[in-house]
Amino acid sequence: MAGYEDRTTRTTTTSTDPYDRTTRTATYVERPRDLDDDERAARHHRHTVGHKNILDWLALILLIVGGLNWGLVGLFGIDVVSSIFGPGSTISRAIYIAVGLAAIWGFALSRLGPTRRV
């Protein structure tokens, strides 16, 4: 631990109050942090196993909704999104596009995600 103590910086400042003639001394200690590559990266770019950002969670929710919808279409011929928002409507098309983008995001996350185990 001696190497860590050698890198600390101590700064001492002394000031005198001109009105009551008191002297104040303050010592500031600055200890450097040992940062690894993950800590140097921006917070929203940091991907570790088990940690998901808001975009990951949104993609996961859309994949579950889209998977359940297509499961119902395959099993019973019921398209829940079309039933709620109307067949071919702009909102239902936007939902289908969002589910497709979530599938691409999920695939990229699973193939290009972190391989380091924590």
pLDDT in tens, 22-72: 888 877 777 666 655 555 555 545 555 567 788 888 999 999 999 999 999
Closest CA to 96 of 109, 107, 84: 84
C-alpha–C-alpha distance, residues 23 and 40, integer Å: 40
Domain presence at residue 46: yes
Same domain flag for 94 and 48? yes
Cα 107 to its chain centre, rounded Å, is: 18
Tell me what percent of the chain is helix, strand and coil, each rounded to the nearest 5. Answer: 55, 15, 30
pTM for this entry: 0.52
Structural domain boundaries enclosing 11: 2-37
Domain presence at residue 21: yes
Same domain flag for 53 and 99? yes
C-alpha–C-alpha distance, residues 101 and 50, integer Å: 22
Same domain flag for 103 and 69? yes
Q: How many domains does the chain have?
A: 2
